[in-house]
Chain A
Amino acid sequence: MDAVVHAEALTRIFRDFWRRPKVCAVNAISFAVPPGEVFGLLGPNGSGKTTTLRMILGLLNPTRGALTVFGRSPRDVAAKARLGYLPEESCLYPYLTARETLNFYGRLFDLSWPKRQAHIDQLLAMSALQHAQHRPVGEFSRGMARRLGLAQALINDPDLIVLDEPTAGLDPVGCRQVKDLILTLARRGKTVILSSHLLADVEHVCDRVAIMDNGAILVQGRIRDLLEQSDRWRLTLPALAPDRLASVLQALRRETGATPEIDHPSLTLEQFFIETIGQTGQEKTAAYSAEAKLLAAKAGPTGGGPEQGVADFLRETRR
């Protein structure tokens, strides 16, 4: 199956006023994202992940290498017609209302009036912005603007959705809703590329990740493969009575000459990320851990709301 996004030795060098090379933001990276996959780009600040996303979106040109989106140049409008983008910062028109914003972007995709209005109603319901649909976006809170940004990214029912820090600025419930939304989109066969600092989020939603640093991809692969320690085994056994478990352990000890661990050990993505980068300080680690724990603790049940909303929206767009 052809990759939705295919990058080969992709390089981007930023130059100064005199055209002298200043920063090599992306250095000869190669990757492919097949249809229906949720692909995560991870890396510390300045690692080149956002530059990579912007090249995929056609906002920046590669200095060297090849990059195709749906087999075309990223600047080709035919490729852009199948793409949705949520930028890191909400870049919406402050004088438009939420409904006008979605209507404007819908018109750019040549959606007919009835279809556009149906999409807008569903997306407003999905983003829980029906009550604020006639308010100017400039009066929105960051979270509301973020949700509206996500809604505009989905107005054309895109096949490829590019999300730059999709949970930035959202409260834990909002984060959970966005993650559920990404999973729903993936289940519906959409391809999602996202970049995030929140490793727990990425681990939760991504099929594959690429970890970048200093413009290069240090490692990429399926999350399960990356986190698994294949030189050790974990036996999954049914619950045993203590005397039977003791005899099993004794047998294993006799066979291996060591005291076996029953659980198969596995790294968290966060630990793996820190090990991979290698240079990240203790403060950052603590911050990541604290944030991940906070999110896990606070994220409550989301119910069927947003997920059901996007499912309805996607079902409608198929008719």
Chain B
Amino acid sequence: MLSKILAIAGLTIRTAIRSRVFALLLALVVISCAGLPLIIKSDGTVAGQAQLFIHYAFGLAVALLSLAAAWSAAGAVSLEVSGRQMHVLRTKPVHAFEVWLGKWLGLLTINLVMLALAGGLIYALLRWTTHSAVLPANDQQRLREEILRAHRVVAPDQPRIARDKPLAQVERGLLAVPPEGTQSWTFRLPEGSRPALFLQFRFATSRIERQMPVAGEWLITADETSGPYSVSGSYTPHVNHTLKLPPGKPGQKLTVTYKNVETTAPATVVFAADPGSGLSLLIHETSFESNFLRALLLVLARLAFFSALGLTAGMLFSFPVAVFTALGFLLMTALRGGVGAKALAIEEESAHSLLTEALNTVLNGIWQLANLIAPPLARFDPLNFLPTGGFIPWTLVGQAWAVLVLAYGGALALLGIWRFSRREMYLAAG
């Protein structure tokens, strides 16, 4: 059984390499990743540049590889059916599950090699653009501490909202700090955490000039320490800022207070209540390389799922239909948030029109269906972690493989194998 599966896997790899699909895809990935540093424009900081490079280069590589994984998998069986090679293969003592597994393993190997090449290229480019000969020492240190490290993100407890805050702001998830005003957050450090701490924040202002800095003062008090730790500075809006804090103790409670001390050009400072985009505490967990590897494993799980999706579509349909189905499913997964948002917006804006109500019902139905059948890809998206130095725990990697590969991939495999074992070849009369 294993010999047959490996034979089919080897055939799939050979076909991909010799049909030049592999070379074309590799060229696309190299060109897009290598060309990105030349065209992206960041906020002007080294950390921002590195962050943007990781985000776009990694995102583009993942998008290209996902598309290629679904496309090549859709053709792996359906093109052999139309080319009639599959007809001969089906006269050999091979079970449908051996065909599916062999093809999937072959595709997974191709994806693994492509991903390793893309990951290696991105890492090499990142190291090359940020090596010591290019950047001054303080920028190097900032990069090492903020981006090229993996941090665990600790969200604050529900912030205390002053009674005088406008209700609309609170409802929209915003925390506004007027001139001379203050806002406090409380954090509880997890047990067993490492002591190195960073406060990461980002804010907007009420000014028209979006990039004009605002003076602010941060006050950090720990429940067991004698005195507060304070940092003052001038911070640019719409940019991620990171402050290094004194070492904390596991289980410690920290109170972080921001005071708006801008006097030259007073402005209201607005934080998002959502910890992901407002304010959070970062704890050093592991090296960037280790985190990068976990990110690649998350992507590989995603590619394995797309390969399973394309393969099953190819076992059910002809090549054009299989490609359309696989890519349509990808699109549906990507757009499901947008469709849901649109449905809710229509509901809010014009609930009384019969047409819009019907449209809303349809959109809601699509959204519900998409939510029901689409895998939770966003939950395992490495772009949620890697560009900001967010720590990817092994448990998340394990969950991604369990959910995307074992659960969803397994269900797709069963469907594909069941259908393929019953599928007839040569359906034209002769």
A→B interface (CB under 8 Å): 14, 22-23, 25, 46, 48, 50-51, 54, 57-61, 77-78, 80-81, 83, 85, 87, 89, 91-93, 95-96, 100, 104-105, 107-110, 136, 152, 162
* B93 and A108 contacting across the interface, CB-CB below 8 Å: yes
A96 to B84, CA, bound (A): 15
B→A interface (CB under 8 Å): 3-4, 6-7, 10-11, 14-15, 18-19, 83-85, 87-95, 424-430
* B87 and A87 contacting across the interface, CB-CB below 8 Å: yes
* A46 and B430 contacting across the interface, CB-CB below 8 Å: yes
A268 to chain B, nearest CB (A): 26
A89 to B88, CA, bound (A): 11
Contacts A57-B91, A59-B91, A80-B92 known; A14 to B15 CB distance under 8 Å?
Answer: no
* A59 and B93 contacting across the interface, CB-CB below 8 Å: no
A156 to chain B, nearest CB (A): 8
* A85 and B425 contacting across the interface, CB-CB below 8 Å: no
A248 to chain B, nearest CB (A): 53
Apart from A14-B429, A93-B11, A110-B3, what 8 extra A-B contacts exist at CB < 8 Å?
A: A14-B428, A54-B425, A54-B430, A57-B91, A93-B15, A96-B14, A104-B10, A108-B89
B110 to chain A, nearest CB (A): 14
Chain A residues with Cβ below 8 Å from B92 are 80, 105, 108-109
Q: Which of A51, A60, A61, A152 contacts B88 (CB 8 A)?
A: A152
A123 to chain B, nearest CB (A): 15
Chain A residues with Cβ below 8 Å from B95 are 77
Chain B residues with Cβ below 8 Å from A23 are 429
Chain A residues with Cβ below 8 Å from B3 are 107, 110
Contacts A77-B94, A87-B84 known; A59 to B424 CB distance under 8 Å?
Answer: yes
* B90 and A58 contacting across the interface, CB-CB below 8 Å: yes
* A51 and B430 contacting across the interface, CB-CB below 8 Å: yes
Q: Which of A59, A61, A78, A107 contacts B87 (CB 8 A)?
A: A59
Chain B residues with Cβ below 8 Å from A77 are 93-95
* A14 and B7 contacting across the interface, CB-CB below 8 Å: no
Of B6, B11, B15, B19, chain A has the most CB atoms within 10 Å of the CB of B11
* B4 and A51 contacting across the interface, CB-CB below 8 Å: no
* B430 and A91 contacting across the interface, CB-CB below 8 Å: no
Chain B residues with Cβ below 8 Å from A96 are 11, 14
Closest to A12 in B: B429
A64 to B295, CA, bound (A): 55
Closest to B18 in A: A95
Q: Which of B14, B18, B425 contacts A59 (CB 8 A)?
A: B425
B426 to chain A, nearest CB (A): 5
* A60 and B87 contacting across the interface, CB-CB below 8 Å: no
* A104 and B429 contacting across the interface, CB-CB below 8 Å: no
A157 to chain B, nearest CB (A): 13
A135 to B335, CA, bound (A): 47
Of A23, A50, A54, A105, chain B has the most CB atoms within 10 Å of the CB of A54
A51 to B92, CA, bound (A): 18
Chain B residues with Cβ below 8 Å from A83 are 91
A104 to B10, CA, bound (A): 9
Chain B residues with Cβ below 8 Å from A50 are 426, 430
A82 to B227, CA, bound (A): 86
Q: List 11 A-B contacts (CB under 8 A).
A: A22-B429, A50-B430, A57-B90, A58-B91, A59-B87, A85-B91, A87-B84, A87-B88, A91-B87, A93-B15, A152-B88
Q: Which of A48, A57, A85, A110 contacts B4 (CB 8 A)?
A: A110
* A107 and B424 contacting across the interface, CB-CB below 8 Å: no
Chain A residues with Cβ below 8 Å from B19 are 95
A99 to chain B, nearest CB (A): 13
A61 to B4, CA, bound (A): 25
* A91 and B85 contacting across the interface, CB-CB below 8 Å: yes
Chain A residues with Cβ below 8 Å from B429 are 14, 22-23, 25, 46, 51
* A100 and B425 contacting across the interface, CB-CB below 8 Å: no
A110 to B3, CA, bound (A): 7
A167 to chain B, nearest CB (A): 18
B93 to chain A, nearest CB (A): 4
Closest 3 CB pairs of A and B: A107-B7, A91-B84, A95-B18
A46 to B90, CA, bound (A): 23
B147 to chain A, nearest CB (A): 43
Chain B residues with Cβ below 8 Å from A25 are 429-430
A272 to B90, CA, bound (A): 36
Closest to A92 in B: B85
Closest to B428 in A: A14
Contacts A51-B429, A51-B430, A60-B424 known; A104 to B91 CB distance under 8 Å?
Answer: no
A89 to B84, CA, bound (A): 9
A152 to B85, CA, bound (A): 12
Chain A residues with Cβ below 8 Å from B91 are 57-59, 80, 83, 85, 162
Chain A residues with Cβ below 8 Å from B4 are 107-108, 110
A78 to B88, CA, bound (A): 16
* B90 and A59 contacting across the interface, CB-CB below 8 Å: yes
* A61 and B424 contacting across the interface, CB-CB below 8 Å: yes
A59 to B427, CA, bound (A): 9
* A54 and B93 contacting across the interface, CB-CB below 8 Å: no
Contacts A91-B85, A108-B4, A110-B3 known; A81 to B430 CB distance under 8 Å?
Answer: no
B46 to chain A, nearest CB (A): 47
A259 to chain B, nearest CB (A): 49
Of B3, B85, B87, B91, chain A has the most CB atoms within 10 Å of the CB of B91
A85 to B88, CA, bound (A): 7
Contacts A93-B11, A95-B15, A105-B92 known; A60 to B425 CB distance under 8 Å?
Answer: yes
A60 to B425, CA, bound (A): 6
A133 to B51, CA, bound (A): 53
A38 to B420, CA, bound (A): 32
Closest to B20 in A: A95
